[in-house]
Amino acid sequence: MRTHFVGEVALDLARLESDLATCRSLEWTEAYSDYVFGGSWKSCMLWAPGGDAGDGVVTNYVYDRPAGFTAHAERLPYLAELIRETADLDRLNFARLALVTDSVIIPHRDLLELSDLPDETRNEHRMHIPLATNDNCFFNEDNVVYRMRRGEVWFLDASRIHSVAVLTAEPRIHLMLDFVDTPGAGSPARVAGGGVEVGIPADRIVTRPPLGDDERADLLGLAPLLSMDTFDEVFSIVIKKHFRRDGGPDFVWNTMLELAAKSPDQAVLPHTEELCKHYTLERSA
Ligand code: YCP
Ligand code: CO
């Protein structure tokens, strides 16, 4: 299923704020923080196979146990109700809160590590509902940068290369739901609205000026500074540039590979190639 905007849920802001305040005191995991530069990517599991919050790593759940609400969800009555009303629970594998501040996420594909699971249990469709966000929060898929607004329901094609930038200290909190695929059963969202053909509406897309030649040269000028010690900082600069300028398809990984090839530190190129493969091509559980 291609990425598309579905519709909106009418949020009860008072009840939402109350649950968002409560959720901050729950236990969040830092699983997948290796995808992130700057801060962390924290998640809080509200629904999972077996009903245990677990460690947040989706390969560490027993998929043949029936899924259900976790103890966290019992503390968040409004969010539990929102999940019940918005999702087909029969097809729901996971519902998590995802919290990001002041961070960028490495362009990656999800689901790669789930390829060994049988089709009928594997996460296949991902829904996002932003609960706290602002204009400095961006999503990226392929070479499109866009914003999702609070209360909107989106399906994301997590098998395409995507990344995120939260260029603000204000917390961005999304409700993220993963569904199994059931061919022919219709949308797992209980929200009326646009089908796949709606895609990413034009008014959500952020128009980025093309990356100028001088800007590209400045970026490549980081090569002499790029070493294993500075790797994360340089990578983070390249990802941030991607959200402000259009450097063309695969800009982030291409730029990192080009920089790595010019780095005086011999370890950087194999490391970059290894990461590129891990995040975009193949990954074991
Ligand atoms: C995402 N993908 O795209 C998540 C973040 C790693 C997996 C954590 O939001
Ligand atoms: Co992802």
Q: How far is the CA of 275 from the centre of ligand 2 (A)?
A: 15
Separation of 64 CA from ligand 1 center, angstroms?
23
Domain ranges, residue 242: 213-280
Residue nearest to atom 2 of ligand 1 (CA): 110
Domain end, chosen from 168, 199, 230, is at 199
Do 32 and 169 reside in the same domain of the chain? yes
- Main-chain phi, psi angles of 175, to 5 degrees: -90, 130
Residues 195 and 59 in one domain: yes
The answer to the question of residue 18 being in a domain is yes
Whether 94 is in the pocket of ligand 1, judged by its Cβ within 6 Å, is no
Whole-structure pTM value = 0.96
Pocket-testing residue among 29, 35, 162, ligand 1, by greatest number of atoms within 8 A of Cβ:
35
- Which atom of ligand 1 is closest in space to residue 35's alpha carbon? 6
Q: Last residue of some domain: 172, 199, 226?
A: 199
Are 102 and 234 members of one domain?
Answer: no
Per-residue pLDDT tens digits of the chain, which is 285 residues long: 899 999 999 999 999 999 999 999 999 999 999 999 998 899 999 999 999 999 999 999 998 899 999 999 999 999 999 999 999 999 999 999 999 999 999 999 998 888 888 888 888 899 999 999 999 999 999 999 999 999 999 999 999 999 999 999 999 999 999 999 888 888 898 888 777 888 999 999 999 999 999 999 999 999 999 999 999 999 999 999 999 999 999 999 999 999 999 999 999 999 999 999 999 998 877
Q: How far is the CA of 106 from the centre of ligand 1 (A)?
A: 9
The number of the ligand 1 atom at minimal distance from the alpha carbon of 158 is: 3
- Ligand 1 neighbourhood includes 47 CB (under 6 angstroms): no
Final residue of a structural domain among 148, 165, 199 = 199
Residue nearest to atom 8 of ligand 1 (CA): 32
Which CATH number characterizes residue 145's domain? Answer: 2.60.120.330
Asked if residue 130 is part of any domain, the answer here is yes
- Which residue reads 């236990």 in tokens? 27
For a substitution probing ligand 1, which of 28, 34, 37, 41 has the most ligand atoms within 8 Å of its CB? 41
Based on the fold, state whether residues 52 and 96 are members of the same structural domain. Answer: yes
CA 110 – ligand 2 centroid, Å: 5
Same domain, 131 and 240: no
- Using the atom order of ligand 1, give the atom closest to the CA of residue 105: 5
Task: Note whether residue 252 is domain-resident.
Answer: yes
In this structure, are 57 and 110 located in the same domain?
yes
Q: Are residues 195 and 228 in the same domain?
A: no
Q: Supply the CATH number for residue 227's domain.
A: 1.10.1720.10
* 99 and 171 together in one domain: yes
**Residues 183, 231 within the same domain:** no
Q: Same domain for 245 and 167?
A: no
